[in-house]
């Protein structure tokens, strides 16, 4: 077989976007400018008119959200161990303490009962993550947050285009953070955006992203908070705008690919292999990833190399964060979140991107079945 390599993710930039980027490069203004403003306006409209600001990564977007919420030393923030390490790193970055609650083995998202049980008098915020684009029970999430007076910083990095009861993720809730990193459903090469509650938060976000600066009049400038350098460039925003135009089509295509995956794996796949499919959530998820949890009898690395021999790329998203050295050194241990630890060892991401062909799904499913027998 000499079929070409099938990656697990692949961005597609159309020619109009490439032309737009070239125009920005020739314009004489390549940092934050009119393209950033246009991208933020488009996103704000998409999220029901809520204020939106862009940044140069999803990670700094989360960090700024925590600063806006006033989270700092002495505060506990509850989150899931099954996420990109950025989710917990930003908690450490603002000087707060991450508290990990175990996941639900079916959704692979934070278990809201365990989240609620982890609340202490020092808890100030919660960071739910919508793994693979699947939201948690948003009604329950905000009911818990309201009852305990907690801020919510939604790590919706993977969830643009996802919904809850027909409402877009980001169009409601507290602080909602998205990423436009290269592998996300839409990209700006690197970047992120934060959806906020009001104009005061948006002004604070602008300060945090650019050295705490406020300008006024012809030559007025003051600095009253410690900000950093987190602004998005017009080059990135031009890519983001070009991608944003395809968001609905991308989400539809990904759902169709997910349906094909489920159809081809068939009703007996889990029983006959011991592998676990994702929940068949075709309403709310944007299908950022299609992930299997492998049976214990096969090592993930072996599965990945055998898929690689068949020319198919496999991702692993994600090993449990609390078992990384940085976290072990802070006292987190094996056994803290047993479900997350098992899933984190055995989870794999199959190829999933909008320009994938139906025949690519067929190939991926055949390969998985042959490797798992
Ligand atoms: C991508 C991602 C991030 C970080 O976003 P970057 O843009 O790469 O900084 C954070 N959390 C989750 C769940 C992600 O998938």
Q: What's 285's domain CATH number?
A: 3.90.1150.10
* Residues whose beta carbon lies within 6 Å of some atom of ligand 1: 57-59, 83-84, 86-87, 129, 155, 157-158, 179, 181, 192
Index of the ligand 1 atom closest to the CA of residue 190: 7
Q: Confirm whether 184 is a catalytic residue.
A: yes
Q: Domain of 310?
A: 247-372
Using CA atoms, how far residue 45 sits from 42, 110, 170, in Å, is 5, 29, 11
| Domains contained in the chain, number | 2
pLDDT greater than 80 at residue 287 = yes
Same domain (yes/no): 108, 169: yes
For the residues 221-226, what does the mean pLDDT come to? 97
Ligand 1 center to 372 CA (angstroms): 30
Same domain (yes/no): 84, 34: yes
Of 244, 275, 296, the residue that ends a domain is 244
pLDDT greater than 90 at residue 231 = yes
Index of the ligand 1 atom closest to the CA of residue 191: 7
The two structure tokens encoding residue 52: 């939106």
**Residue range 302-336, pLDDT digits in tens:** 999 999 999 999 999 999 999 999 999 999 999 99
Same domain (yes/no): 128, 110: yes
Q: What pLDDT was estimated at residue 299?
A: 98
Of 188, 216, 244, the residue that ends a domain is 244
Same domain (yes/no): 217, 343: no
Same domain (yes/no): 41, 173: yes
Ligand 1 center to 216 CA (angstroms): 34
- Rounded Cα distance, 122 and 22, in Å: 50
Q: What pLDDT was estimated at residue 281?
A: 87
For the residues 23-28, what does the mean pLDDT come to? 98
pTM of the model: 0.98
Same domain (yes/no): 207, 338: no
Model confidence band, residue 107 (pLDDT cutoffs 50, 70, 90): very high
For the residues 101-110, what does the mean pLDDT come to? 98
Q: What pLDDT was estimated at residue 373?
A: 87
Same domain (yes/no): 238, 288: no
pLDDT greater than 80 at residue 277 = yes
Ligand 1 center to 158 CA (angstroms): 7
- Site to substitute for ligand 1 among 80, 86, 127, 236, most atoms within 8 A of C-beta: 86
Sole residue written with tokens 């161990």: 81
For the residues 244-254, what does the mean pLDDT come to? 98
- Site to substitute for ligand 1 among 54, 66, 157, 285, most atoms within 8 A of C-beta: 157
Of 192, 219, 244, the residue that ends a domain is 244
pLDDT greater than 70 at residue 286 = yes
Per the residue annotation, which of 147, 184, 207, 229 is the catalytic one?
A: 184
Residue 32 within any structural domain of the chain: yes
Residue 9 within any structural domain of the chain: no
Atom 6 of ligand 1: nearest residue by CA position: 58
**How many CA atoms within 13 Å lie on the side-chain side of 121?**
0
- Rounded Cα distance, 62 and 45, in Å: 21
Same domain (yes/no): 107, 231: yes
Residue 1 within any structural domain of the chain: no
Same domain (yes/no): 169, 288: no
For the residues 88-92, what does the mean pLDDT come to? 98
Ligand 1 center to 59 CA (angstroms): 6
For the residues 222-237, what does the mean pLDDT come to? 97
H-assigned helices in the chain: 15-26, 34-46, 58-68, 86-93, 112-117, 138-148, 199-209, 234-244, 247-265, 269-273, 300-309, 325-328, 338-346, 358-372
Same domain (yes/no): 27, 103: yes
Same domain (yes/no): 178, 254: no
Same domain (yes/no): 152, 271: no
Ligand 1 center to 153 CA (angstroms): 13
pLDDT greater than 80 at residue 66 = yes
- Rounded Cα distance, 192 and 156, in Å: 10
Index of the ligand 1 atom closest to the CA of residue 179: 7
Index of the ligand 1 atom closest to the CA of residue 130: 13
**Count of CB atoms situated within 10 Å of the CB of 179:** 29
pLDDT greater than 60 at residue 1 = no
Model confidence band, residue 165 (pLDDT cutoffs 50, 70, 90): very high
For the residues 177-202, what does the mean pLDDT come to? 98
Domain containing residue 73: CATH number: 3.40.640.10
């Amino acid at each position: 077989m000499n079929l070409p390599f099938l990656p697990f993710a692949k961005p597609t930039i159309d020619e109009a976007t490439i032309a737009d980027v070239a125009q920005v490069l020739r314009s004489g203004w390549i940092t934050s400018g009119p393209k950033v403003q246009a991208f933020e306006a488009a996103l704000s409209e998409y999220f029901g008119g809520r204020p939106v600001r862009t940044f140069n990564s999803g990670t700094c977007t989360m960090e700024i959200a925590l600063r806006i919420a006033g989270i700092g030393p002495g505060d506990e923030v509850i989150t899931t161990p099954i996420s990109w390490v950025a989710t917990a790193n930003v908690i450490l970055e603002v000087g707060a303490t991450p508290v990990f609650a175990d996941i639900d083995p079916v959704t692979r998202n934070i278990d809201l009962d365990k989240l609620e049980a982890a609340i202490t008098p020092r808890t100030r915020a919660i960071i739910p993550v919508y793994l693979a684009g699947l939201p948690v029970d948003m009604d329950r999430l905000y009911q818990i947050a309201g009852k305990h007076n907690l801020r919510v910083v939604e790590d919706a990095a993977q969830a643009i285009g996802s919904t809850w009861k027909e409402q877009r993720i980001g169009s409601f809730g507290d602080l909602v953070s998205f990423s436009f990193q290269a592998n996300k459903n839409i990209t700006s090469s690197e970047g992120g955006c934060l959806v906020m509650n009001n104009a005061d938060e948006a002004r604070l976000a602008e300060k945090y992203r650019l050295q705490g600066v406020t300008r006024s009049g012809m030559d007025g400038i003051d600095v009253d908070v410690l900000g950093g350098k987190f602004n998005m460039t017009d080059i990135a925003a031009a890519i983001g705008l070009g991608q944003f135009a395809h968001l609905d089509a991308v989400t539809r295509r990904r759902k169709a690919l997910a349906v094909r995956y489920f159809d081809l794996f068939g009703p007996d796949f889990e029983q006959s292999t011991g592998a676990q499919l994702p929940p068949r959530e075709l309403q709310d998820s944007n299908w950022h990833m299609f992930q299997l949890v492998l049976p214990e009898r096969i090592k993930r690395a072996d599965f990945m190399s055998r898929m690689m021999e068949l020319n198919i790329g496999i991702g692993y998203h994600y090993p449990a964060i609390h078992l990384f050295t940085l976290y072990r050194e802070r006292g987190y241990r094996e056994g803290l979140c047993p479900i997350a630890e098992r899933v984190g060892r055995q989870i794999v991401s199959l190829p999933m991107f909008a320009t994938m062909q139906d025949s690519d799904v067929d190939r991926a499913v055949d390969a998985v079945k042959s490797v798992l027998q």
